[in-house]
Amino acid sequence: MKYEINSADQSFEVDIQIENDRLIIQTASNKLTLEAIQIHRGVYSVLLNNRSFVVGVCAGNDEKINVNGTPVFVELLDAVHLHLRELGWESMQETKAGLVCTQIPGLITRIFHKVGDEVIEGEPLFLMEAMKMENEIKAPLSGVIQKISVQEGQTVDKGTNIIEIG
Contact assessment for residue 150 and residue 157, using Cβ atoms and an 8 Å cutoff: no
Q: Which stretch binds other proteins (CB under 8 A): 93-101, 111-119, 145-153?
A: 93-101
Residues 6+ apart with CB under 8 A from 26: 14, 15, 16, 17, 32
- Residue 31 interacts with other proteins (CB under 8 A)? no
Contact assessment for residue 39 and residue 56, using Cβ atoms and an 8 Å cutoff: no
Residues in region 108-137 near other proteins by CB under 8 A: 109, 129-135
Query: Taking the complex as a whole, how short is the minimal distance between the CB of residue 148 and other proteins, in angstroms?
Result: 19
Residue of 41, 63, 65 whose CA lies nearest to 53: 65
**Quick one: which of 2, 31, 38, 123 contacts other proteins (CB under 8 A)?**
38
Q: Which stretch binds other proteins (CB under 8 A): 76-84, 111-119, 143-151?
A: 76-84
| Residues making up the chain, counted from first to last | 166
**Quick one: which of 13, 31, 79, 103 contacts other proteins (CB under 8 A)?**
103
Q: Which stretch binds other proteins (CB under 8 A): 51-59, 111-119, 144-152?
A: 51-59
- Residue 87 interacts with other proteins (CB under 8 A)? no
Q: Rounded distance, CA 50 to CA 33, Å?
A: 8
